[in-house]
Amino acid sequence: MSTLYITKQNTQLTKKEKRIVVTEKNDIAADVPLIHVEQVIIIGKVGITGATIQLLLDENIPITYLSYYGHYKGRLVPELSKNSILRVKQFESYKDENFKLKISKIIVGAKLNNMRNILLKKSRTASDLENIQNKAEKIKDLINKLEDADDENQLRGYEGIGSRYYFSQFNKLLNYNLNPYEPEYRHLKL
């Protein structure tokens, strides 16, 4: 499922069975089956027939109107859109503590893993190879502990410790001494 963007000016949207047909000066520019459309975004001066609007609403597909310059003008949303069902499910998941903890473990694990990979990659060219690899190994130990975390506070602790390990080596990864008391620091644009 994807978003159908209509950006070509002076085009017309019509329906043909369960498809959206985009015409420009009586020539068919696009013919899109509704099964592939999650939402329609109309940008600028584009015409749409009443029958097409009705079909989109019947299929629970919202229509968003933007100006030629991309400024939001309005939105036509079906009574029960696909997104509203998704929002309800997301809210229900938010109230489920086990689900929140599971998702949090995945996110924190990905963050720690990315930090570890950056340390390992940069350690190949760094002068303090042993110390950087030591911190990467400590982050790996934290990743292994994530699955046993009982609550979000414990996860926050692991994330904080991992960030401390990572950022303690960050200066070495840049291959530049960032001493704020040296004159060239003031001219360095990060």
**Per-residue pLDDT reduced to its tens digit, 56-89:** 999 889 999 999 888 999 999 887 656 677 778 8
DSSP state for residue 182 in the 8-state scheme: S
Mean pLDDT, rounded, for 108-131: 85
44 phi, psi to nearest 5 deg: 85, -145
C-beta of residue 123 within 8 angstroms of C-beta of residue 170: no
pLDDT of residue 121: 86
- What pairs with residue 42 in β-bridges? 6, 65
Mean pLDDT, rounded, for 161-173: 88
Q: Which of 55-64, 78-87, 99-108, 148-157 has the lowest mean pLDDT?
A: 78-87
For 30-48, the pLDDT digits (tens) are 889 999 899 999 999 999 9
pLDDT of residue 39: 93
Query: How many CA atoms are closer than 13 Å to the CA of 30, on its beta-carbon side?
Result: 13
CATH 3.100.10.20 correct for 2-84: yes
- Distance (Å, whole) CA 30 – CA 14: 11
Angle at CA 111, nearest 5°, toward 189 and 96? 135
- Distance (Å, whole) CA 6 – CA 71: 14
pLDDT of residue 88: 81
Supply the Cα-derived Rg of the chain in whole angstroms.
26
